[in-house]
């Protein structure tokens, strides 16, 4: 076979696997958005079969042989094809390392742990969840051994969400973040004259809120010919190819801003997915680099843009029009204060920009300690509560509002949480460069002209798909590896001004 | 292997194939209902892959071996398992008869023919479509040879939609139908005093119409916990297992009745699908017997029930409430007249109950003549127009409104049309028996109490799934094979009264 025909066969086989994954994504989307309740059992079986078939197709011997041939002939490939082979080989090696029996055992443990977690949270009983989490932890050690790692076994788990990231690197970033964000939060909590937010009290018309989300997405440059926004219990973004990217959102009559910021956040994810190149479709190159980089896109739109004063200079009158008689006389500055209100709280998903990373770092530290055997599962509540006191100054009244609040551990997704905080750090570091490259950015935002920003992101981030690692991307753009400085500076300046704090 | 373990393996392998088909159905549904336009290309690839993978999984050697073993041991199987093996073997043999190269060539010809047909219809140019239909016809002959048949090659095509049906049987049914329905239509057209339908003129509120469809489906017994109704350009029903059955519908402001009857029709299909047994899920037994039997369910609810006077005695006031001030003083009898208005027209999908079968028979006769070489593709327009004159007394002003109106031939679906007329015949024959078994039926309908009817259908039709053929089903229930008499009697009596025609 010539190298061209090997490549053609390789792309065709790989394309089938991608088609199967995309099909599964359609089924997942429908499950969250439209599926009637009694459809759940059959849907579970359909998804299990799709995932098993995709796994079998991807890990066939033929795929290994094709990858071997193409890797050997890498110098004859053009850079795009060489990159595709490299990325696919990386995925292939990870996927073939886990025996099917282990994958099944893990799936069973996940289901059981999820059910136990739901019950444990409802009844505020950590003991109900504990044996399941212990089982998950055993399996995660087994998984780490199958996958291999250097240093901490936690690195094997991190790799799944943030290729190349290590505990050592994260500690270097997060220790600084924890210290300076804790200090900032303490200052804010003790600041005099908190803003009066009585005007934000609901109820707020739901249709008007939905209209606002659609308008914002349109303004951001989200292509509704290549996507749509629907309602779901938990907002998320998924895609079935770069020309069919679905967002979901929710509307609460009690909260004027949650749907709006949900749209900015999911819209950020969605713009990333819509920005992959047509020619990368049906290959693993058309995907986000890592969860951290994906999150950098959503956080940038949600926070750096959607919680900026220029943004509200444009959208304050828009909201006034959408809620007639309800927002008269409320200034852009008041909106700006309201959407940036800082209030340490127990629940991560309700956390503001200043406290969010602290919730994440707390989880990261517990996860590493669990994997490294420094604490036992039974000790989680105690560790959790101590850290909440340390970082946020809060007493945790119940495990339901503490260590049982998140779904992630019941899924066995240890290593996932850090990517949320990385997203914030990446976003700020990129944004610093964006402000240098686009000196008129704030004027553009004030005019809801997001085309220059989107153009910059398309050119520097989106179009590369998975051609770079997160570290390469950040370094290529900013000249430095990921660092905590830009985010901390951004926070300290913004909130220092907002809360009238004395310098740094 | 014991027979039990063979059966377990067989069910597991078959279950995967069913899961893949159900997954494809989800993708099809989304494509018609929610998919953004730019998603089409990727969706086509996803569906092609799912269908290829399902085909490969189903036609694997292992499946053949399992079927052989189970067929040999059929006397050790319980009746349900024996039936499952028989039905699966039937499907397996048909599916393995077509070489993959042929299936691909056919798919390519379909795509090309479909595109040509769209253009041909837009430009009213049969010549644009002709070479593509000729190609399709060649391939259909090839297909018939692969599949095998007795008598007419058209029988091989019919088999796909209506197992066991033959040209000979259809001619026996349709010749009588054509003659008596033509005669009935002629009488109606010449009847004095057509009803005044000015009150039906729109526009009609779309939300109120949608509300009406939901209410009707609820009344019919459609389970919204196991299904939903969404909007699409062309109404259809699909299912992803018997506990997730999706209906679609459309609403036109110009037409007070089309959405309502669309819901009755699709609801009839949907109730059939929801009525399969839980234990048949993930097997081919949980499916309609044939398109004709499926259509009997939709037509019965749409026409026998939804176009009956007792139905309108209940729903006339409901519609009055939904459209305040618009329908005051309109009696149930007037609704009954309006929904049964007969008007020969050129377009099949707009045809009323009296003329519908004539549209179908015309197509059937042309299809058989094409397959048997009695006419050439080039002669279709002439044959079409002559038959429209003969059966409906109409001159066809253009091929766009004549032989180019339907999508079916561009898909190569010759043999499909007759099932529409069979559905009407089956429905009437079953309904005759239903009226015997349920003497209080019209009182129940008058009270919108459809539980007795649904109960009868569940017991006698739905729960069997594919355990019987259409002929067996009709004979087991009515004591006779399918016959045209009941439908013609139903039509002649109903429309004789409605239009004050003299007997017979």
Segments of chain B with pLDDT less than 50: 504
- Of B66, B97, B128, the residue at which a domain comes to its end is B97
Q: Are residues B225 and B81 part of one domain? A: no
Give CA A82 to chain center in angstroms: 28
Confidence at residue A503, expressed as pLDDT on a 0 to 100 scale: 56
Integer Cα distance of A425 and B108 in angstroms: 50
Task: Look up tokens 């099949």; give the residue.
Answer: B348
Residue A32 lies in a domain: yes
ipTM over 0.90: yes
Neighboring chain B residues of A35 at a CB cutoff of 8 Å: 244
- Record the tokens describing residue B331, joined without a space: 């009696």
Residue A93 lies in a domain: yes
Burial class (CB in 10 A: 0-12, 13-18, 19+), A451: exposed
Q: Are residues B217 and B333 part of one domain? A: yes
Segments of chain A with pLDDT less than 50: 504
What residues make up the domain containing B265?
201-345+434-467
Instruction: Please enumerate residues of B whose Cβ is less than 8 A from a Cβ of A.
Output: 15-16, 19-20, 22-24, 26-27, 30, 34-39, 41-43, 45-46, 48-50, 52-53, 57, 223-228, 230, 240-241, 243-244, 281-282
Residue B302 lies in a domain: yes
Q: Are residues B217 and B69 part of one domain? A: no
Question: Does the annotation mark B374 as catalytic?
Answer: no
The pLDDT tens digits for A83-112 are 999 999 999 999 999 998 898 899 889 989
Number of domains chain B contains:
2
Integer Cα distance of B480 and B502 in angstroms: 29
Q: Are residues B453 and B329 part of one domain? A: yes
Confidence at residue B195, expressed as pLDDT on a 0 to 100 scale: 87
CB atoms within 10 A of CB B385: 17
Residue A225 lies in a domain: no
Q: Considering chain B, what percentage of its residues have pLDDT values greater than 90? A: 96
Q: How far is CA B371 from CA A96, B171, B377, B381, in A?
A: 52, 15, 10, 16
Residue A34 lies in a domain: yes
Q: Running DSSP on this structure, what letter comes out for residue B481?
A: -
Contact B45 A225 (CB under 8 A): no
Q: Are residues B63 and B210 part of one domain? A: no
Integer Cα distance of A230 and A242 in angstroms: 18
Yes or no: say if A41 and A105 are a contact pair by the CB < 8 Å rule.
no
Instruction: Please enumerate residues of A whose Cβ is less than 8 A from a Cβ of B.
Output: 15-16, 19-20, 22-24, 26-27, 30, 34-39, 41-43, 45-46, 48-50, 52-53, 57, 223-228, 230, 240-241, 243-244, 281-282
Spatial CA neighbour of B29 closest among A50, A43, A248, A223: A43
Confidence at residue B366, expressed as pLDDT on a 0 to 100 scale: 98
Which of B37, B50, B244 minimises the CB distance to A39?
B244
Neighboring chain A residues of B225 at a CB cutoff of 8 Å: 36-38
Spatial CA neighbour of B424 closest among B187, B192, B180, B233: B180
Helix (H) / strand (E) containing A248? strand A245-249
- Which residue numbers of A are catalytic? 266
Contact A244 B46 (CB under 8 A): no
Residue A362 lies in a domain: no
Yes or no: say if A154 and A366 are a contact pair by the CB < 8 Å rule.
no
Residue A423 lies in a domain: no
Contact A45 B20 (CB under 8 A): no
The pLDDT tens digits for B461-473 are 999 999 999 999 9
Q: Are residues B334 and B452 part of one domain? A: yes
pTM assigned to the model: 0.95
Q: Are residues B448 and B311 part of one domain? A: yes
Q: Are residues B308 and B445 part of one domain? A: yes
* Mean confidence (pLDDT) of chain A: 96
Long-range contacts of B47-51 (CB under 8 A, 24+ apart): B48/A19, B48/B107, B49/A15, B49/A16, B49/A19, B49/A20, B49/A23, B50/A19, B50/A20, B50/A23, B50/B20, B50/B23, B50/B24, B51/B24
Integer Cα distance of A393 and A391 in angstroms: 6
Confidence at residue B401, expressed as pLDDT on a 0 to 100 scale: 97
Q: Mapped to the 3 state alphabet, what secondary structure does A266-327 carry? A: HHHHHHHHHCCCHHHCCCCCCCCCCHHHHHHHHHHHHHHHCCCHHHHHHHHHHHHHHCCCCC
Integer Cα distance of A267 and A300 in angstroms: 11
- Of B97, B126, B156, the residue at which a domain comes to its end is B97
Residue B303 lies in a domain: yes
Spatial CA neighbour of A361 closest among A384, A345, A395: A384
Yes or no: say if B342 and B303 are a contact pair by the CB < 8 Å rule.
no
Confidence at residue A504, expressed as pLDDT on a 0 to 100 scale: 43
């Amino acid at each position: 076979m010539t190298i061209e025909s090997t490549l053609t066969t390789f792309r065709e086989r790989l394309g089938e696997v991608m088609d199967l994954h995309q099909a599964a994504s359609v089924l997942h989307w429908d499950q969250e958005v439209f599926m009637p309740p009694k459809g759940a059992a059959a849907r579970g079986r359909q998804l299990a079969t799709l995932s098993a078939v995709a796994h079998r197709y991807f890990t066939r011997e033929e795929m290994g042989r094709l990858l071997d041939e193409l890797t050997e002939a890498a110098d004859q490939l053009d850079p795009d094809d060489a990159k595709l082979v490299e990325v696919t080989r990386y995925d292939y090696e990870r996927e073939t390392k886990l025996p099917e029996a282990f994958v099944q055992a893990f799936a069973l443990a996940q289901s059981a742990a999820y059910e136990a977690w739901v019950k444990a949270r409802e009844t505020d009983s950590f003991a109900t969840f504990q044996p399941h989490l212990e089982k998950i932890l055993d399996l995660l050690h087994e998984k780490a051994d199958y996958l291999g790692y250097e240093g901490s076994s936690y690195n094997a788990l991190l790799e799944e969400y943030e290729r190349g990231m290590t505990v050592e690197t994260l500690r270097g970033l997060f220790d600084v973040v924890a210290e300076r964000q804790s200090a900032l939060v303490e200052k804010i909590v003790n600041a005099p004259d908190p803003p009066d937010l009585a005007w934000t009290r609901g109820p707020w018309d739901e249709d008007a809120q939905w209209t606002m989300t659609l308008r914002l997405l349109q303004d951001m440059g989200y292509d509704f010919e290549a996507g749509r926004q629907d309602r779901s219990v938990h907002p998320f973004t998924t895609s079935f190819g770069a020309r069919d990217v679905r967002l979901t959102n929710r509307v609460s009559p009690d909260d004027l801003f949650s749907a709006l910021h949900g749209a900015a956040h999911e819209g950020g994810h969605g713009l990333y997915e819509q920005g992959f190149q047509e020619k990368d479709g049906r290959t693993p190159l058309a995907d986000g680099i890592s969860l951290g980089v994906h999150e950098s896109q959503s956080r940038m739109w949600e926070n750096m843009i959607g919680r900026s004063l220029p943004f509200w200079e444009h959208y304050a009158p828009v909201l006034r029009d959408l809620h007639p008689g309800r927002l008269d006389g409320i200034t852009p500055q008041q909106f700006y204060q309201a959407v940036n209100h800082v209030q340490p709280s127990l629940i991560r998903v309700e956390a503001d920009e200043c406290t969010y990373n602290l919730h994440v770092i707390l989880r990261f530290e517990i996860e590493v300690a669990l994997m490294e055997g420094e604490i036992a599962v039974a000790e989680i509540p105690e560790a959790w509560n101590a850290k909440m006191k340390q970082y946020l100054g809060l007493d945790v009244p119940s495990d339901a509002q503490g260590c049982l609040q998140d779904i992630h551990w019941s899924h066995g997704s240890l290593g996932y949480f850090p990517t949320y905080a990385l997203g914030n750090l990446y976003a700020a570091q990129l944004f610093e460069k964006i402000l240098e490259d686009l000196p008129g950015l704030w004027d553009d935002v004030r005019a809801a002209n997001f085309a220059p920003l989107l153009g910059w992101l398309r050119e520097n981030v989106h179009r590369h798909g998975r051609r770079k690692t997160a570290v390469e991307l950040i370094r290529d753009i900013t000249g430095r590896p990921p660092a905590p400085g830009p985010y901390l500076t951004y926070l300290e300046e913004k909130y220092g001004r907002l809360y009238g704090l004395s310098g740094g």
